[in-house]
């Protein structure tokens, strides 16, 4: 039998999905699982979006333009202008989810072996996309003690070599929920100008900023228009993960013309997803106000519950719907598997994502987990009870804890 490719061997497994077989087995045994491992919101998708798809009178499901349906791109440009992001339809390529936007950007901007600096922990699939594009990720470490604030610029500069081609951020961040300030982005801007680097910014959570803090886009940074690529998706904004519609955005005409060739090679993005995405732009502000209020309630509950557990620390995130918690455990991967394979409390358990998969540095995040607070408050309450009880009896805990009755 022929061997698989070296690239396939190096392709990392998803830390979010690799525990699914253990969850499936637990469910078959009658255990209820609270899924805090994946950013799949339980918020209803706007009816404007779903109705547009249901009421479509399409007779032939044709290819769309490779850059996306023109009417959608024009309306999307107006949407961005409401955030003071001044772009036109020709600055946008609609993609099959934010994932394809990242993949096309990496293939367009980087040669094999070029280096991309990313503050870690970062969205795990950045590693996968980089592997597929033969891009070398150079992580710069942020720390839970500072709430995962932007690392000092001097730490970025230490990593810059002749092969360094760009910097990538996520703002607000997945998996940390950290929201970069204007001051932090200005520091990145200066570095990008100094070394003439690309600045890639994944901004899919812009609607979810809390505590009166402002969202600042890399496209608000003056003087680096030719260096900036904005990456976006409707998945989280409209709770429409299955629509698979994203966008790659840049004012760099040469870059976008080159990216379009990759878009043409995959023919076109999903038609129904674009129809829904265009209709979703009519979603009233009241929808987001309600959603934000709900996420703030969930965040506040989860963060407080975590910090009240012995040996647990969780900084309060200012955006998105994730947090990273440090637990009194020896190995997050083993702990998350143990929760599904060997633990239940009153026939219930919780599924978490080990933070190790969000770091590129070997050995980092061994005592951290990512929690997606995407369930209703009652489910979150039960999930936190399960987690607290699990920490009391977990055999690989770092601190002594009093064991209580429970099914293990």
pLDDT surpasses 90 at 94: yes
- Report the alpha-carbon distance of residue 23 to residue 16 in Å, rounded: 12
332 Cβ contact partners less than 8 Å away, ≥ 6 residues apart? 354, 355, 356, 365, 366, 367, 368, 369
- Report the alpha-carbon distance of residue 254 to residue 226 in Å, rounded: 9
Q: Could you tell me if residue 296 is inside a domain?
A: yes
Indicate if 217 and 266 belong to the same structural domain.
Answer: yes
* Strand ranges in 215-304 using DSSP code E only, listed in sequence order: 228-233, 246-249
Read off the pLDDT band of 76 (50, 70, 90): very high
Phi, psi of 230 (to 5 degrees): -95, 130
- In 3-state terms, what secondary structure has residue 390? helix
- Report the alpha-carbon distance of residue 374 to residue 44 in Å, rounded: 12
What per-residue confidence (pLDDT) applies to 405? Answer: 30
- Report the alpha-carbon distance of residue 125 to residue 386 in Å, rounded: 28
284 Cβ contact partners less than 8 Å away, ≥ 6 residues apart? none
pLDDT surpasses 70 at 175: yes
* pLDDT tens string 200-222: 999 999 999 999 999 999 999 99
* pLDDT tens string 121-172: 999 999 999 999 999 999 999 999 999 999 999 999 999 999 999 999 999 9
Q: Could you tell me if residue 400 is inside a domain?
A: no
Strands 115-120 and 32-35: unpaired
Indicate if 188 and 88 belong to the same structural domain.
Answer: yes
- In 3-state terms, what secondary structure has residue 242? helix
* pLDDT tens string 347-362: 999 999 999 999 999 9
Q: Could you tell me if residue 398 is inside a domain?
A: no
Indicate if 269 and 291 belong to the same structural domain.
Answer: no
What per-residue confidence (pLDDT) applies to 20? Answer: 93
CB 92 within 8 Å of CB 117: no
Q: Count of CB atoms within 10 A of residue 406's CB?
A: 14
- Which region, left, alpha or beta, applies to residue 90 given φ > 0 means left and ψ of -120 to 50 means alpha? alpha
* pLDDT tens string 225-240: 999 999 999 999 999 9
Cα–Cα distances in Å, from 216 out to 194, 220, 249, 252, 278?
21, 7, 16, 20, 24
Tokens at 294, concatenated: 């709900």
Task: Name residue, tokens 């699982």.
Answer: 33
Q: What is the CATH number of the domain that holds 65?
A: 3.40.640.10
pLDDT surpasses 50 at 403: no
Structural domain boundaries enclosing 94: 47-280
* Domain-terminating residue out of 250, 280, 310: 280
- Report the alpha-carbon distance of residue 130 to residue 358 in Å, rounded: 14
Task: Name residue, tokens 């209820």.
Answer: 32
Rounded to the nearest 10 degrees, how much is the dihedral formed by the CA atoms of 123, 91, 81, 170?
10
pLDDT surpasses 90 at 116: yes
Q: Could you tell me if residue 251 is inside a domain?
A: yes
pLDDT surpasses 80 at 402: no
Read off the pLDDT band of 407 (50, 70, 90): very low
Read off the pLDDT band of 398 (50, 70, 90): low
Read off the pLDDT band of 303 (50, 70, 90): very high
2-6, 160-164, 208-212, 256-260: least confidently modelled range: 2-6
Indicate if 40 and 53 belong to the same structural domain.
Answer: no
Indicate if 177 and 270 belong to the same structural domain.
Answer: yes
Number of domains in the chain: 2
pLDDT surpasses 50 at 55: yes
Indicate if 95 and 196 belong to the same structural domain.
Answer: yes
Read off the pLDDT band of 400 (50, 70, 90): very low
Read off the pLDDT band of 18 (50, 70, 90): confident
Q: Could you tell me if residue 154 is inside a domain?
A: yes
Indicate if 262 and 386 belong to the same structural domain.
Answer: no
Indicate if 276 and 363 belong to the same structural domain.
Answer: no
* Strand ranges in 108-192 using DSSP code E only, listed in sequence order: 115-120, 136-141, 164-170
């Amino acid at each position: 039998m022929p061997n698989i490719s070296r690239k396939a061997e190096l392709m990392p497994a998803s830390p979010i999905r690799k525990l699914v077989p253990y969850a499936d087995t637990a469910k078959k045994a009658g255990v209820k699982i609270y899924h805090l491992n994946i950013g799949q919101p339980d918020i209803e998708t706007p009816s404007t979006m779903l109705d547009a798809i249901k009421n479509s009178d399409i007779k032939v499901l044709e290819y769309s333009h490779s850059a996306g349906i023109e009417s959608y791109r024009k309306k999307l440009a107006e949407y961005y202008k409401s955030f003071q992001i001044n772009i036109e339809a020709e600055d946008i390529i609609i993609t099959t989810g934010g994932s394809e936007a990242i993949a096309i950007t990496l293939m367009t901007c980087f040669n094999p072996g070029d280096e991309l600096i990313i503050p870690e922990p970062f969205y795990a699939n950045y590693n996968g996309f980089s592997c597929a594009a033969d891009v070398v990720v150079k992580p710069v470490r942020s720390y839970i003690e500072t709430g995962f604030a932007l690392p000092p610029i001097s730490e970025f500069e230490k990593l810059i070599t002749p092969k360094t081609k760009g910097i990538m951020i996520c703002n607000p961040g997945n998996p940390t929920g950290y929201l970069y300030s204007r001051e932090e982005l200005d520091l990145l801007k200066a570095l990008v100008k100094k070394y003439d680097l690309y600045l890639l910014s994944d901004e899919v959570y812009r609607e979810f900023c809390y505590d009166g803090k402002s969202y600042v886009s890399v496209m608000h940074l003056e003087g680096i228009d030719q260096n900036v690529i904005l990456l976006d998706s409707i998945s989280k904004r409209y709770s429409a993960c299955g629509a698979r519609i994203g966008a790659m955005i840049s004012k760099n005409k040469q870059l976008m013309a080159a990216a379009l060739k990759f878009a043409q090679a995959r023919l076109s993005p999903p038609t129904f997803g674009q129809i829904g995405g265009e209709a979703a732009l009519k979603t009233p502000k009241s929808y987001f106000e309600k959603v934000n209020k709900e996420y703030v309630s969930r965040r506040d509950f989860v963060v407080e519950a975590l910090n009240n557990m012995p040996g647990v620390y969780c900084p309060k995130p200012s955006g998105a719907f994730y947090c990273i918690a440090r637990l009194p455990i020896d190995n997050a991967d083993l702990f998350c598997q143990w929760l599904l394979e060997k633990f239940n409390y009153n026939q219930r358990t919780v599924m978490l994502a080990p933070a190790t998969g969000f770091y590129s540095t070997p050995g980092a995040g061994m005592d951290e987990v990512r929690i997606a607070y995407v369930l209703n408050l009652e489910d979150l309450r039960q999930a936190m009870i399960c987690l607290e009880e699990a920490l009391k009896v977990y055999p690989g805990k770092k601190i002594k804890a009093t064991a209580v009755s429970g099914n293990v």
